[in-house]
Chains A and B, each alone.
Chain A
Amino acid sequence: MRHRRAQTAPARRRTLTGLSPVLESALAGLLGLLVGVVVMAIYGYNPWAAIVALFSGAYGNAAGFANALAKATPLLLTALTFAICVRAGMFNIGAEGQLFMGTLAAVAVSLVTLPPGIGQIARLVLAMVVGALWSLVPALLKVTRGVSEVISTIMFNWIARWLALYLVLNILFDPLRAEKTISIPMSGRLPLLMGKTTLSVGFFVAIAFALVVYFVVWHTVVGYEIRAAGLNPTAAKYGGINSRRTMLLSFTLGGMAAGLAGACYVMGTPPTYSVFAGLPELTNLGFDGMAVAMVGRNHPIGIIFSAIFFGGLNAGGRAMQLRAGVPLDMVRVVNGTIVLAMAIPELIRILPMVKSGVRRMISSVRPRRGADSGDTPGDPDSSTSRGDATQEKERGA
Chain B
Amino acid sequence: MNLSYFWMILILSLQAMVPLVLTAVGEIIGETAGLFNIGLEGILLMSAFTGVMGAQLGGPWVGLLTGMLTGGAISFIFSVITTRFKGSQMIAGIGINLFAIGFVAFGMAARGVSSLPQGKRLFAIQTPVGMGISPIVIVALVVPFIAYYFLKRTRAGLMLKAVGENPEAADVAGIDVLRVRLLATTFGGILAGLAGAYISVSWVGSMTKDISQGRGFIALATVVFSGLNPLLALVGGFIFGFFESLAVWIRNMPALKGIPTQFIAMAPYVVTLLVVAGAIGRVRFPKALGEPYKRE
Interface residues of A (CB under 8 A from B): 39, 43, 45, 91, 93, 141, 145-148, 150-152, 154-159, 162-163, 165-166, 169-170, 284, 287-288, 290-291, 294, 327-345, 350, 353, 378-380, 383-384, 387
Of B14-22, B82-90, B136-144, B149-157, the one contacting chain A is B82-90
Contact B90 A336 (CB under 8 A): no
Residue-by-residue, is B264-296 near A (CB-CB < 8 Å gives 1, otherwise 0)? 011001101100110011000000000000000
Assembly CA distance A274 to B270 (angstroms): 28
Q: In the complex, what residues of A have CB within 8 A of residue B280's CB?
A: 145-147
Q: In the complex, what residues of B have CB within 8 A of residue A290's CB?
A: 94, 98
Assembly CA distance A320 to B101 (angstroms): 19
Q: In the complex, what residues of B have CB within 8 A of residue A341's CB?
A: 95
Q: In the complex, what residues of B have CB within 8 A of residue A147's CB?
A: 273, 276-277, 280
Contact A327 B277 (CB under 8 A): no
Q: Which residue of the partner chain A has the closest CB to B265?
A: A162
Contact A43 B107 (CB under 8 A): yes
Q: In the complex, what residues of A have CB within 8 A of residue B265's CB?
A: 162
- CB interface residues, B 34-81, toward A, < 8 Å: 38, 42, 76-77, 80-81
Assembly CA distance A379 to B176 (angstroms): 10
The yes or no answer to B249 lying at the interface (CB within 8 A) is no
The yes or no answer to B148 lying at the interface (CB within 8 A) is no
* Least distance between A199 CB and chain B CB atoms (Å): 25
Contact A333 B103 (CB under 8 A): yes
Contact B76 A380 (CB under 8 A): no
Contact A340 B85 (CB under 8 A): no
Q: In the complex, what residues of A have CB within 8 A of residue B221's CB?
A: 151, 155
Q: In the complex, what residues of A have CB within 8 A of residue B224's CB?
A: 148, 151
Given contacts A154-B214, A155-B217, contact A287 B98 (CB under 8 A): yes
Residue among B38, B88, B94, B260 with the most chain A CB within 10 A? B94
Q: In the complex, what residues of A have CB within 8 A of residue B109's CB?
A: 327-329
- Total number of B residues with any Cβ neighbor in A under 8 Å: 56
Q: Which residue of the partner chain B has the closest CB to A339?
A: B95
* Least distance between A84 CB and chain B CB atoms (Å): 16
Assembly CA distance A343 to B86 (angstroms): 9
12 contacts between A and B (CB under 8 A): A93-B94, A151-B276, A155-B273, A159-B266, A330-B102, A333-B106, A336-B97, A336-B98, A339-B92, A345-B88, A378-B179, A380-B176
Given known contacts A147-B277, A345-B88, A380-B176, what 4 new A-B pairs fall within 8 Å (CB)? A148-B276, A155-B221, A155-B270, A339-B91
Contact A345 B86 (CB under 8 A): yes
Contact A384 B84 (CB under 8 A): yes
Q: In the complex, what residues of A have CB within 8 A of residue B270's CB?
A: 155, 159
Residue among B89, B183, B280 with the most chain A CB within 10 A? B280
Contact B38 A150 (CB under 8 A): yes
Q: Determine which of A327, A336, A380 lies in contact with B95 in the assembled complex, contact meaning CB atoms within 8 Å.
A: A336
Contact A380 B178 (CB under 8 A): yes
Assembly CA distance A328 to B214 (angstroms): 23
Q: Which residue of the partner chain B has the closest CB to A137?
A: B273
* Least distance between B117 CB and chain A CB atoms (Å): 23
* Least distance between B187 CB and chain A CB atoms (Å): 11
The yes or no answer to B160 lying at the interface (CB within 8 A) is no
* Least distance between A295 CB and chain B CB atoms (Å): 11
Q: In the complex, what residues of A have CB within 8 A of residue B38's CB?
A: 150
Q: In the complex, what residues of B have CB within 8 A of residue A165's CB?
A: 262
The yes or no answer to B6 lying at the interface (CB within 8 A) is no
